[in-house]
Structure 1
Amino acid sequence: MYSGLNGAMNIQNFLTHLIVRVPFAFMIILCVQISYLLEINKQEKTFLTQQSLESQLNYQQLKNQISPHFLFNNINVLTSLIEENPKKAVQFSENLSNIYRYFLKQEKQDVVLVNDEINFAKCYLALLKDRFEIGLNYTINIDEKTAEKYIVSTILQQVLENVVKHNTINEDNIVSINITSKESYLVVENNKIPKFITEESSKKGIENIRKRIAFFTDEIVVIESTTEMYKIQLPILETI
């Protein structure tokens, strides 16, 4: 009987220790798991922050390529005009100054309203019209709904500069540019009168456009090119 009583007490003691120690052990395991998860979360945040900073740096580098390029090209034009047509050079200089001021303002924003980008494009096209006169024509037809959406800033200026870069434009070779909206794209189309260039194009301008847009959307830049026509479709963003 004593042996049975002693055995019952041992079982009771074992159960008491089990009840006390199991929650304690469970709490230790739980704390270890929480600590591990917090450390993993911290590492993930650090990694994402580094990725974000790297992406911002890469994007800024792409943007930094635009402003000097824009200014350099147009200063070259101005220099030529000073020799050929001083009066026209003065007008071009004034317009360039106003546009570059606006350009710098827009450049501080990564994404802008389509309407703002179109207004900037109109200013730039007017500058090109001063330069090429009857050699360049353009039309713009954007619906109101699209105008209230968003697009990567100064992207149209890059596209228009690409048109000028690759085509012969004068009173005998007239280039027409048409800017429209289609579904989720802004479409820029022009007829082609290619310049005679012995060196193959580096296509850095188009690559810059593609990379800049890729930071904000998975939609890709769509390009159609034939012997007579060039069309580029730029993705429109629904929100910022």
Structure 2
Amino acid sequence: MASPSEPAAFQVFDGDLDAAWTERYRASGALGVDTETMGLVHGRDRLCLVQLCDREDGVACVRIARGQDSAPNLQALLEDAAVEKVFHFARFDVAALACGLGIRVQPIFCTKVASRLVRTYTPRHGLKDLVNELTGVELDKQAQSSDWGRVDELSDSQLAYAANDARYLLSARDQLEQMLRREERLELARRCFAVVPLMADLDIQRFTQVFEH
């Protein structure tokens, strides 16, 4: 397996994207998106970082300060119906963006949902295993559990980890779509993606058993 290369372009922003990168991304048609938070409980654990990558391997990391509740350029981009947003386990990231910045993400492609629908030959649906199989790249996950709240002092290794989690989503998405088409499950996947915002809202409000008997 190959190690991740350096991105073609890389920029770190404080608080929001600038106009130039916003327009670059709005012209891309699809973006890989990931987030880093202080933990896994929405409302308690704040959003700290938003990472985006386009098909030209242009990566932006947006640092979100404690107490920040809006990012107008980022919101306009992530709510743009003409730009598909690709996540791995979109349910969490969509909830984090809604809870932290009031962003209602659409449209969505979730590589984890797609993987579960079509890679039924394996129980391994984590991002590292998925990227390994579909792109041949070995992601380093050592920085996964670290303090993302020190946004002004994030290390190079943290930023590299964060960037790489967004960089390979579009390649994985394209291969998963081909597999879904082959197995005639693409429409089922699209129906699943459509309910991600609802699931995220339920998670934010701590409803966990709504669909159980």
- TM-score, L = length of structure 1: 0.21
Please say which structure displays the higher CA radius of gyration. Answer: 1
Give the TM-score of the pair, scaled to structure 2. 0.23
Higher-helix-fraction structure: 1
Identify the structure with bigger relative contact order (alpha carbons < 8 Å, sequence gap 6+).
Answer: 2
